[in-house]
């Protein structure tokens, strides 16, 4: 007799209490292995795949894509035991769920195998069916989103005896050509059926512009009189019923953090223009030597860590309960990255111990993970200082909000040719505006000004940085 085990949404760490189902990776009737990812969820920190600690046959799923579940809520049920013919060791489960990682020692990798091909009129949640079960083995630690379990030899067919599962949500035949969670969310919130859309992207891929155009067309079509909702009346009777975007997920977390920063941190900002011509020349010379390319962001990060070594007050946070400023002896450098899902701040661990080449590689890795939505909660938390390169948006200056609970943020504007007095003569130089927003509780203007001036000196004369290496 098979035993049906319930797998609940695990504690994802970092104080997260809920997650939204983005995409199911298994269906009712699928055979799953221990530690196989079964669902992709979006938390307030990142998009992650959740592995199941049990091996067996999926008998029910709880929640459709787009549903928000609290930690501890049921995700799915799995039939395990002798009747399910689960490979030895799989029926007991791994006992742990660590998001983004396996929960057992590495061994043979496998894929999930569908028990049957559901035809027209056949329900995916049928309680009894033939199941093809993989050989014994457990999935090791997952090193990236591109790695998927490999095929393994199947075992003989077996019958599954399990209580009738709860009905599963209906699914359309064939996949909808959408890869962006943002596109799915916009369609869902606008009540749009993606199956009815023709995508304008490659191979019919549905893009954000397709969804937004369909929503505009939908809004322009009057609803039947009997079903038309009462118009929203605001501000003297004017109709102002616009598109509502829920503040949840990453955007909601950012909103909460920025609001808290404004409430708690008495911030101040100072700025200075600097001649970045010599820094740009130094980077060109470094990249001409045939070695791995060095990014401008990496050079600015090296300047930041050197400046923080001289002005450690800015690498700190305020313990409000103890009424103490806590200075840190390591620099975990955050950097702002704009993605389809909104603004995120990945963190480069131990940036003070990295050279320019290592920083370049880590910035590239984290930026790519941010764009694909595969950053882990650990890669988005724990920063001690933030570098914000808003020059990529074509602007010169900004007064950014500090990334709570950090104490400061360095902003870098665009680097553009401008008239500049150089060695007593007017010349065209590469000029950048640098700004420092800081928590006035951790230091006074003299310290903040000294930090910013040192950064500007390193930008204008990169040789200044050599004295700190």
Helix residue ranges per DSSP H, 194-335: 208-220, 249-264, 277-287, 296-310
| Tokens at 43, concatenated | 């938390």
DSSP state, 404? Answer: T
- Closest among 210, 135, 204, 213 to 176, alpha carbons compared: 204
How distant, in Å, are the alpha carbons of 162, 321, 325 from that of 328?
Answer: 55, 18, 10
- Asked about 440 being catalytic, the answer comes back as yes
Q: Which residues contact 81 (CB under 8 A, 6 or more apart)?
A: 1, 2, 3, 56, 91
CA distances to 33, 41, 151, 191, 319 from 100, rounded to whole Å, are: 16, 11, 21, 31, 31
377 with 14: CB under 8 angstroms?
yes
Of 130, 193, 319, 444, catalytic: 444
Phi, psi of 148 (to 5 degrees): -125, 150
- Per the residue annotation, which of 30, 332, 440, 457 is the catalytic one? 440
Separation CA 89–CA 108 (nearest Å)? 13
Question: Using CA atoms, how far apart are residues 443 and 314, in angstroms rounded to an integer?
Answer: 7
Virtual CA dihedral for 424, 426, 430, 431, nearest 10 degrees? 80
Burial of 319 (0-12, 13-18, 19+ CB in 10 A): exposed
d(CA 106, CA 131): 25
Please name which of 63, 61, 58 lies closest in space to residue 29, comparing C-alpha atoms: 58
- Pick from 461, 462, 437, 431: nearest CA to 274: 431
Q: Which two tokens stand for residue 142?
A: 């997952």
Per-residue DSSP letter, 400: P
444 among known catalytic residues: yes
**What is the pairing mode between strands 74-80 and 56-61?**
antiparallel
Dig out the tokens for 50 from the structure: 């959740």
End-to-end CA distance of the chain: 68
DSSP 121: T
Asked if residues 108 and 26 have their Cβ atoms less than 8 Å apart, the reply is: no
Q: How far is CA 283 from the centre of its chain?
A: 30
User: Rounded to 5 degrees, what angle do the CA atoms 14, 15, 17 make?
Assistant: 125
What positions carry a catalytic annotation? Answer: 440, 444
């Amino acid at each position: 007799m098979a035993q049906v085990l319930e797998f609940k949404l695990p504690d994802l760490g970092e104080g997260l209490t809920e997650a939204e189902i983005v995409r199911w990776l298994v269906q009712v009737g699928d055979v799953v292995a221990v530690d196989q990812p079964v669902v992709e969820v979006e938390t307030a920190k990142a998009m992650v795949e959740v592995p199941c600690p049990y091996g067996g046959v999926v008998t029910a799923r709880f929640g459709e894509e787009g549903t928000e579940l609290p930690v501890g809520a049921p995700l799915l049920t799995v039939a395990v035991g002798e009747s399910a013919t689960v490979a030895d060791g799989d029926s007991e489960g791994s006992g742990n769920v660590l998001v983004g990682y396996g929960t057992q020692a590495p061994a043979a990798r496998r894929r999930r195998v569908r028990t049957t091909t559901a035809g027209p009129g056949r329900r995916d949640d049928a309680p009894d069916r033939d199941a093809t079960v993989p050989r014994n083995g457990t999935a090791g630690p997952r090193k990236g989103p591109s790695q998927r379990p490999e095929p393994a030899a199947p075992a003989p067919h077996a019958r599954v005896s399990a209580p009738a599962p709860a009905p599963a949500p209906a699914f359309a035949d064939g996949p909808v050509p959408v890869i962006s969670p943002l596109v799915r969310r916009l369609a869902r919130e606008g009540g749009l059926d993606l199956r009815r859309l023709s995508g304008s992207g490659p191979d019919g891929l549905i893009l954000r512009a397709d969804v937004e155009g369909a929503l505009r067309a939908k809004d322009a079509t009057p609803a039947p009189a009997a079903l038309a909702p009462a118009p929203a009346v605001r501000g003297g009777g004017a109709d102002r019923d616009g598109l509502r975007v829920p503040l949840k997920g990453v955007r909601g977390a950012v909103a909460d953090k920025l609001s808290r920063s404004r409430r708690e941190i008495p911030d101040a900002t100072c700025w200075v223009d600097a001649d970045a011509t010599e820094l740009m020349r130094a980077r060109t010379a470094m990249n001409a030597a045939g070695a791995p390319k060095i990014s401008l962001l990496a050079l600015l990060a090296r300047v930041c860590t050197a400046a923080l070594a001289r002005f450690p007050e800015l690498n700190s946070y305020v313990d409000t309960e103890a009424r103490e400023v806590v200075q840190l002896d390591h620099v975990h450098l955050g950097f702002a990255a704009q993605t389809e899902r909104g603004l995120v701040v990945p963190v480069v661990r131990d940036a003070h111990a990295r050279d320019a080449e290592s920083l370049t590689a880590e910035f590239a890795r984290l930026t790519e993970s941010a764009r694909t939505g595969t950053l882990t909660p650990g890669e988005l938390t724990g920063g001690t200082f933030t570098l914000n390169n808003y020059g990529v948006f074509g602007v010169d200056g900004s007064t950014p909000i500090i990334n709570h609970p950090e104490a400061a943020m360095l902003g870098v504007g665009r680097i553009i040719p401008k008239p500049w007095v150089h060695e007593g003569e007017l010349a065209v130089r590469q000029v950048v505006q640098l700004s420092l927003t800081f928590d006035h509780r951790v230091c006074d203007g003299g310290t903040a000004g000294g930090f910013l001036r040192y950064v500007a000196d390193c930008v204008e004369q990169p040789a200044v940085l050599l004295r700190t290496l």
